[in-house]
Structure 1
């Protein structure tokens, strides 16, 4: 059976990672959370005091990028791939609102994108990969057999993110999360290098009113049709 590359792009908190993980597990494919890689670089920059809410020393981060190593390891307890930054599991640390507030600025740095895109393309050379992010179908895998663009209203996405953070025990308020979502949308869509845009051949899915199961079935049907067309 053919193996394909599946690129899932879209705005933050649209459930890209959730459906990508489901697909990878169902198909026996490799799942790569590209957003987690940018979050890991952001966490490194925060730990080195290169960035916070008020300042960003871009040159210092770029100069020290060679000190950043990122890889994924399967977590048997959760069934997901955890992110490791310089050998340390940082899966929980990269999901905080503090990292969310800074990640779009880090992801807009051309040198950061260049280094991570190279790693991502290497991961997908053998096909059989599901990768989600902001520029997977346009930059990382422009020739992917299936491209999906996920979207939902900002309010819907903020509520999902807020519920996720509260369930984790984080102390946040809804308006703060909504502001973060809206700010990230703007930065991701307006950055000079690889802005968030829908690829011309991507299939758009608005999941504002879809359950997780409905979303998965919709995407799985697209995978099935794509595979059938290749036979």
Structure 2
């Protein structure tokens, strides 16, 4: 069974998806990490984020692999670099390019073939796996989302201000929701879950119950 979990940053979807997969004994696919890997590769090569053709070429040559929860770009573990604020911003810009999305959507679909898997991202239930049996869309207030991301960066020893995070988050939401290809929105048949006042465990149990009811 394919389970999709979509939503904007800071809603807890990565942690929820990973824990849900572990609880169900399913595999886990972080599709956002795939876009961040392409973005990191683009930035590392000094390619302009406004040069769509060059970015498409980088996406074509980017080899993506996941091993024991770590992300490998062309054979190198880049897990630690992918959550940097500048990489997240670049990923949102890269994700607007239709050809990049086409490349990564195909790879995501190939990975999921014949597997019980929880796929987390922004277009999993609408574009990548429209026929998935279980779809969820997580939301939370903008302020809570920014606070959560601030806590994440602080725990990693990274210095970033709440106001900066909130501003970047709102700008990314605007880009993601208004892009022409695969805009961020819940699938018509997705269950909406507001995580503002819920713990991670509460969200996981709620989603797990829904998945098990469809087995």
After TM superposition, the score normalised by the length of structure 1 is 0.91
1:194 corresponds to which of 176, 182, 189: 182
In 2, the alpha carbon distance for the partners of 1:104 and 1:48 equals 18
In 2, the alpha carbon distance for the partners of 1:124 and 1:68 equals 19
In 2, the alpha carbon distance for the partners of 1:65 and 1:189 equals 22
Instruction: Give the count of matched residue pairs.
Output: 215
In 2, the alpha carbon distance for the partners of 1:216 and 1:158 equals 21
Unmatched segments (≥5 aa) in structure 1: 75-80
Partner of residue 55, structure 2: 61
Say if 2:36 is the partner of 1:48.
Answer: no
After TM superposition, the score normalised by the length of structure 2 is 0.97
For the 8 Å contact 1:33–1:131, the answer to whether it is kept is yes
RMSD: 1.0
Unmatched segments (≥5 aa) in structure 2: none
Say if 2:26 is the partner of 1:29.
Answer: yes
In 2, the alpha carbon distance for the partners of 1:209 and 1:64 equals 40
SS at structure 1 position matched to 2:213: helix
Residue 127 of structure 1 deviates from its aligned partner by: 3.2
1:118 corresponds to which of 82, 91, 106: 106
Runs of 4+ aligned residues of structure 1 deviating over 4 Å after TM superposition are none
SS at structure 2 position matched to 1:64: helix
Residue 50 of structure 1 deviates from its aligned partner by: 1.5
Per-residue CA deviations over 1:14-61 (Å, capped at 9, x if unaligned) read 11111111111111111000000000000001001114xxx5222211
